[in-house]
Amino acid sequence: MSEESLHPEDITENMYTDIGADTPEGFSISSRSRELARKMVGNETPEDRIRQRCSIAVGDWAMADLMRFQNNPVEAGLKALENGADIFTDIRMVSMGIQKRGHSSKVECALDYGADISNAKGITRSSAGFIALKDRIEGSIVVIGNAPSALITVC
């Protein structure tokens, strides 16, 4: 993170440019998508911006209405990043999608852990990975992309 703390109120729409947009056409598409998302979802809070991104990702504005935020997750996530907390993902695709600049947090995938547990218990590799990581999860950031079994294990 920067020398000064980043707080939720400091987050602006300009911070949400699609990092995959590396051509003029890509930037234009990303910009139009964000503009439409702001109109459809709202743009008052950092949580609105998360709802925007998720709605764009799934291609359905109804996603925004399904999301709930409890216990100040944006603030907690920013503080965890500020402190260099590890980031654990359920699948590699999610690991690859996490921007590696702007923080010093290590990004790891649960699939790299727990193969023996998966084989012994006959459970998914993502679940087994999070079981193997149980002593490292507290205080970390956990990102679940596409493995519901991992979400159940973590919860």
Residue ranges of domains in the chain, CATH in brackets: 8-66 (no CATH), 85-154 (3.40.50.10230)
β-strand pairing of 141-143 with 107-109? unpaired
In angstroms, rounded to a whole number, what is the distance separating the alpha carbons of residues 84 and 147? 25
- 8-31 residues labelled b (16+ CB within 10 A) or e (exposed): eeebeeeebeeeeeeeeeeeeebe
**pLDDT by position in tens, the chain (length 155):** 444 445 555 555 445 556 667 788 888 888 898 999 999 999 999 999 999 999 998 999 999 999 999 999 999 999 999 999 999 999 999 999 898 888 999 999 999 999 999 999 999 999 999 999 999 999 999 999 989 999 999 99
Q: Taking the model in full, what pTM does it have? A: 0.76
| Cβ–Cβ < 8 Å for 55, 64 | yes
